[in-house]
């Protein structure tokens, strides 16, 4: 079994949940059956969306490269980043190390393509939406996509920054409103494309028709690390399609 490095803290609670997912997904009968994971929890990394949108001049890339190289020096076999917006810097970050860097955006698009989804809605930060991370990955996979209206995107950012990141309860009416908007545009599955949105799914019954990108990443990490995976989670990447709306 290989070891995994995680660039975390972006945000902290999502990183903690990611570790929980890895443990819950592993088919383990003893402690030793679990994957060796080194989490570098680094919330001091500058905000990715603020930099991308020109609201901050502080690039997160130098700190992320430093973190990735530190994990590589500790002997991990591959690296995951529990922040989707940071994948705007994926090429530069991957080039800075000599071990594989898993790509949550590509893994998510590949999953949707492999399970017959034709059109997906994107719920993500404005940084992710502006840089077209999911849009380009979905197009490359042959899928159509939709993003929220400006008002809907404001609601998504409110959920992420003013509620989940701030440690406050999520406004489920706001969440459902922007979800309904994307459903009305014909989306068959909605991507929870920010790890803070994964926490809403963890804590609330949001219903069917969502694909949690953080779950997809956790499955991919176990797969690439050759760790034993519980059948119900292995099916997420293989046989079981997402419940359509």
The first and second tokens of residue 10, run together, are 């972006």
The first and second tokens of residue 200, run together, are 């809403």
For this structure, is 83 an active site residue? yes
State the SS3 of 124-151.
Answer: CCHHHHHCCHHHHHHHHCCCEEECCCHH
How far is residue 100's CA from residue 78's CA, in Å, rounded to a whole number? 5
Half-sphere exposure of 104 (CA within 13 A, CB side): 29
Helix, strand, coil tally for the chain in percent (to 5): 50, 15, 35
Catalytic residue, from 187, 194, 219, 221: name it: 194
Beta strands at 78-81 and 189-192: parallel, antiparallel or unpaired: unpaired
The closest of 117, 114, 90 to 104, measured between CA atoms, is 90
Catalytic residue, from 83, 187, 219, 221: name it: 83
Using DSSP's 3-state secondary structure scheme, residue 240 falls into coil
How far is residue 136's CA from residue 133's CA, in Å, rounded to a whole number? 6
Catalytic residues: 83, 194
């Amino acid at each position: 079994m290989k070891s995994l490095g995680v660039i975390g803290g972006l945000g902290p609670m999502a990183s903690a949940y990611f570790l929980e997912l890895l443990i819950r997904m592993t088919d383990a009968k003893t402690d030793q059956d679990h994957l060796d994971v080194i989490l570098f929890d680094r919330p001091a990394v500058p905000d990715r969306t603020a930099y991308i949108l020109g609201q901050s001049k502080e690039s997160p890339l130098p700190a992320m490269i430093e973190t990735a190289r530190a994990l590589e020096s500790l002997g991990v076999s591959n690296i995951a980043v529990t922040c989707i917006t940071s994948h705007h810097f994926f090429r530069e970050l991957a080039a800075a190390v000599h071990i594989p860097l898993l790509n949550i955006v590509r893994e998510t698009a590949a999953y949707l393509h492999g399970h017959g989804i034709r059109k997906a809605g994107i719920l993500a930060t404005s940084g992710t939406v502006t840089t077209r991370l999911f849009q380009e990955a979905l197009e490359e996979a042959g899928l159509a996509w939709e993003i929220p209206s400006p008002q809907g995107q404001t609601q998504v950012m409110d959920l992420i920054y003013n509620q989940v990141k701030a440690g406050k309860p999520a406004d489920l009416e706001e969440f459902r409103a922007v979800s309904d908007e994307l459903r009305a545009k014909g989306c068959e599955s909605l991507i929870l494309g920010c790890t803070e949105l994964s926490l809403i799914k963890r804590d609330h019954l949001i219903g069917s028709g969502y694909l949690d990108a953080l779950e997809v990443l956790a499955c991919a990490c176990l797969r690439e690390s050759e760790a034993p995976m519980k059948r119900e989670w292995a099916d997420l990447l293989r046989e079981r399609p997402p419940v359509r709306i």
